[in-house]
């Protein structure tokens, strides 16, 4: 490659709006540019990449079942090499899982081989200002280090935050050293793509004194597959995947492509799951397909072009009654059997 590829790390905790922001950036992409996007998810199923429309000028690489800062570090290394060897692209966007610490990714991007090919631009961190009111989250070192290590901090979902929430985040950002290149507020992840071309000042190390304990506090446990070929879902018989780590548990299900969900009943079920910190899923409703995203008690919906299978991921601080949730989801697919759109 004649010149280095502009590389952008877009971080943020669970529910901060990273995938939405990447979609907004794609909408601003110059027609002559080809972009590569690596999307990392903590859960085993992989839902976030489904929200991004795949086109000829976009190359999407999902990494699921851990975080690229440690558990999937080798996969990130391999994916980067494959991308660099396979085809030319003008920009690379990397979206780590919301519970991932950016230090490990930055270390990978700074390795001699990648430094020859990649031009690491400013690290962008999206923050939901309301998260600062969560006492537990304010003690979460990953959440704090994501903000601290960023060069650009974006207060997303500003329309949902109070003036006190916004002021608290602004005060936090202003107290950090070194100072940020930019701090701005926005809604639904919209910001000027020109921010992608901010450059780093060479400071990659977190300022927090506890950052050196990352290796001790950022451990994962992920089940080892019993077979090389993973089980496949059957109609009304989904495949379940589990993960745990960083003080949270994840349970996800993949459904057969023929399974259809009734929207009203599905919305009621997902809204009523108590103890869920995050729920995200792609569902076949019959003729339409929908991407559902729940953060806390808030839910939003978006039509998607994804057409392979239905899947959902639930993240909570404590294990929920996964068997009961699975039974209710299966009951919905049985209701959907009689959908007039089944054969469309």
Q: Given a cut of 90, is residue 249 above it in pLDDT?
A: yes
How would residue 199 be classed by pLDDT, with cut points 50, 70 and 90?
A: confident
Angle between helices 102-109 and 73-86 (to 10 degrees): 40
Q: How far apart are CA 242 and CA 43, in angstroms?
A: 7
pLDDT level of residue 189 (50, 70, 90 thresholds):
very high
Q: Residue 59: its pLDDT value, please?
A: 85
Same domain, 232 and 326: yes
Do 151 and 47 have their domain in common? yes
Residues 44-67, mean pLDDT to the nearest whole number: 75
- pLDDT digits 0-9 by tens, 295-335: 999 999 988 867 778 999 999 999 999 999 999 999 999 88
Q: Which residues lie below 8 Å from residue 164, measured CB to CB, with a gap of 6+?
A: none
**pLDDT score for 73:** 61
185 in a structural domain? yes
Show the domain range for 325.
224-336
Task: Give the number of domains in the chain.
Answer: 2
Residue 191 has pLDDT above 60, yes or no: yes
Is 66 within the bounds of a domain?
yes
Are 172 and 297 found together in one domain?
A: no
Residues 80, 29, single domain; the answer is: yes
Q: Which two tokens stand for residue 197?
A: 């071309």
Residues 95 and 18 sit within 8 Å (Cβ to Cβ): yes
Instruction: Tell me which of 217, 238, 265 is where a domain ends.
Output: 217
Distances (CA, A) of 205 to 102, 113, 149, 208, 216: 10, 20, 7, 9, 17
For residue 11, count other CB atoms closer than 10 A to its CB.
26
Report the C-alpha gap between 253 and 241 in whole angstroms: 6
Band (pLDDT 50/70/90 cuts) for residue 49 is: confident
Q: Using an 8 Å Cβ cutoff, are 311 and 219 in contact? A: no
What distance in Å separates the CA atoms of residue 167 and residue 172, rounded to the nearest whole number?
9
Domain-located, residue 302: yes
pLDDT at 130: 95
Domain boundary pick from 217, 246, 275:
217
CATH of the domain at 292: 3.30.1220.10
Q: Average pLDDT, stretch 281-297?
A: 89
In angstroms, how far is CA 5 from the centroid of its own chain? 22
Q: Tell me the mean pLDDT in the region 71-76.
A: 64
pLDDT of residue 93: 94
272 lies in a domain? yes
| Average pLDDT for 245-269 | 92
Give the end of a domain, one of 180, 199, 217: 217
Asked if 47 and 312 touch (Cβ cutoff 8 Å), the reply is yes
Tokens standing for residue 116: 């020859």
Alpha carbon distance 201, 51 (integer Å):
33
Q: Which residue has the tokens 């059957």?
A: 234
* Position 341 in a domain: no
331 is written with which tokens? 């009951």
Is 31 inside any structural domain? Answer: yes
How many whole angstroms separate alpha carbon 63 and alpha carbon 72?
8
- Asked if 93 and 199 sit in the same domain, the reply is yes
Residues 32 and 120 in one domain: yes
Q: What percent of the chain has pLDDT over 90?
A: 45
């Amino acid at each position: 490659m004649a010149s280095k590829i502009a590389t952008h790390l877009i971080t943020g905790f669970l529910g901060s709006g990273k995938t939405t922001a990447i979609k907004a950036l794609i909408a601003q992409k110059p027609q002559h540019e080809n972009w590569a996007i690596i999307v990392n998810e903590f859960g085993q199923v992989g839902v976030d990449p489904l929200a991004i429309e795949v086109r000829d000028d976009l190359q999407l690489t999902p990494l699921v079942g851990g975080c690229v800062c440690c558990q999937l570090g080798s996969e990130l290394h391999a994916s980067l090499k494959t991308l660099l060897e396979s085809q030319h692209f003008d920009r690379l966007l990397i979206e780590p899982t919301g519970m991932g610490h950016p230090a490990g990714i930055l270390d990978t991007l700074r390795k001699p081989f990648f430094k020859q090919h990649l031009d690491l631009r400013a690290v962008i961190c999206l923050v939901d200002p309301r998260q600062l009111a969560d006492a537990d989250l304010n003690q979460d070192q990953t959440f704090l280090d994501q903000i601290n290590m960023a060069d650009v901090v974006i207060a997303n979902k500003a329309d949902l935050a109070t003036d006190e929430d916004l002021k608290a985040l602004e005060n936090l950002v202003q107290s950090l050293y070194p100072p940020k290149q930019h701090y701005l507020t926005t809604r639904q992840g919209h910001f000027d793509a020109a921010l992608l071309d901010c450059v780093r000042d060479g400071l990659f190390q977190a300022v927090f004194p506890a950052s050196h304990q990352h290796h001790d506090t950022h451990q994962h446990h992920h089940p080892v597959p019993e077979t090389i070929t993973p089980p496949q879902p059957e109609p009304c018989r989904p495949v379940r995947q589990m993960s745990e780590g960083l003080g949270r548990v994840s349970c996800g299900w993949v459904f057969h492509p023929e399974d259809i969900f009734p929207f009203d009943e599905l919305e009621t079920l997902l809204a009523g799951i108590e103890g869920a910190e995050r729920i995200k899923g792609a569902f076949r409703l019959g003729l339409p397909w929908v991407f559902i995203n729940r953060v806390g008690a808030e839910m939003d919906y978006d039509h998607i072009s994804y057409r392979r299978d239905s899947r959902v991921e639930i993240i909570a601080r404590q294990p929920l009654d996964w068997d009961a949730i699975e039974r209710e989801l299966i009951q919905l697919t049985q209701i959907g059997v009689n959908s007039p759109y089944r054969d469309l």
